[in-house]
């Protein structure tokens, strides 16, 4: 049981390390299956047979997909979704209270903090994946920036840098979030997704159970759902 647990941890680490190296899903599936095959034959623990997962992943020297691929396909849309969600949140309160949307430079700077942190993610993604505290620290910075942006939001038009009609921003950002979610849903429902880890023998993909599919859809629609919740909250507190 102990060996199964440590092997599961080792294989999880191996998949993460290969993912970080942008290795194709079918090559990851092949690597995992051949490692399991040898462990079945030798009865060795994975760490003993292959060494640390990180070193083994590096030693395999797989050709990586171009580094900018995931940035173009995943990071930029996520960043746009986040930006739309943050702007929606700013506009929704003003819209429900039929007031102008008041913006100050400090507020904008604080709103930009999570956007910049996500935009710079390629620079420190390895650290986030390998060290839990880095991810927690980034999330905490984003949360604090969000709270502070509400604290420094101007209450009088005379204090504001910009005073704009919130309706176009509310509708525009809502549309952006919905369009991105539809795009992500279409992408994730395509059968031949290069990112899937494919078992070389059965040709099936890992994580294609109902639970995993639901989780993918929830993730795809996360921003619109949260935006709806914010709209409901703003209407309730009006």
Partner 1 sequence: MSTSTPDVRATDGVDWPSDWLRATLGFLALRALSGGPSYGYAIISELERHGFGAIKGGTLYPLLTRYEAAGLLTTEWRAGDGGPGRKYFALTEQGRAELTRLSADWRRFVASSVHYLDPERPEKEISP
51: left (phi over 0), alpha (psi -120 to 50) or beta: left
Question: 40 vs 190, which CB is nearer to partner 1?
Answer: 40
Nearer to partner 1, 49 or 234 (CB): 49
CA pair distance 235, 89, nearest whole angstrom? 12
Interface pick for partner 1 out of 8, 34, 72, 213 (rule CB under 8 A): 34
Is there a contact between 205 and 198 (Cβ–Cβ < 8 Å)?
Answer: yes
Kindly determine how many residues on this chain lie close enough to bind partner 1 according to the rule CB under 8 A. Answer: 25
Q: Is 165 in the site for partner 1 (CB under 8 A)?
A: no
86-122 burial, b at 16+ Cβ within 10 Å, e below that, comes to: bbbbbbbbbbbeeeebbbbeebeebbebbbebbbeee
Q: Does 35 bind partner 1 (CB under 8 A)?
A: yes
Using CB under 8 A, which of 7, 13, 17, 30 touches partner 1?
30
Under rule CB under 8 A, residue 204 binds partner 1: no
* 118 touches partner 1 (CB under 8 A): no
Angle between helices 222-236 and 210-220 (to 10 degrees): 60
37 interacts with partner 1 by CB under 8 A: yes
Q: Contact positions toward partner 1, by CB under 8 A?
A: 30, 33-42, 44, 48-51, 55-56, 59-63, 200-201
């Amino acid at each position: 049981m102990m060996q199964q647990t440590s092997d599961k941890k080792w294989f999880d680490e191996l998949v993460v390390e290969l993912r970080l190296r942008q290795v194709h899903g079918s090559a990851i599936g092949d690597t995992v299956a051949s490692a399991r095959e040898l462990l079945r034959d030798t009865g060795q623990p994975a760490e003993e047979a292959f060494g640390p997962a990180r070193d083994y992943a590096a030693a395999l020297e797989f050709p990586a997909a171009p580094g900018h691929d995931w940035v173009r396909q995943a990071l930029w849309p996520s960043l746009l979704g986040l930006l739309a969600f943050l702007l929606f949140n700013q506009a929704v309160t003003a819209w429900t209270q039929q007031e102008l949307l008041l913006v100050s430079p400090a507020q904008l700077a604080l709103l930009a903090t999570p956007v910049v942190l996500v935009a710079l993610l390629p620079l420190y993604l390895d650290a986030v994946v390998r060290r839990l505290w880095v991810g927690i620290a980034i999330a905490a910075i984003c949360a604090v920036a969000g709270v502070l942006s509400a604290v420094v939001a101007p209450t009088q038009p005379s204090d504001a840098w910009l005073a704009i009609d919130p309706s176009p921003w509310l509708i525009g950002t809502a549309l952006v979030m919905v369009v991105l979610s539809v795009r992500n849903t279409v992408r994730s429902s395509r059968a031949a997704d290069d990112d899937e880890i494919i078992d070389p023998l059965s040709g099936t993909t890992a994580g294609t159970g109902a639970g995993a599919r639901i989780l993918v859809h929830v993730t795809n629609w996360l921003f619109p759902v949260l935006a709806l919740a914010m709209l409901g909250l703003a209407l309730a507190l009006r």
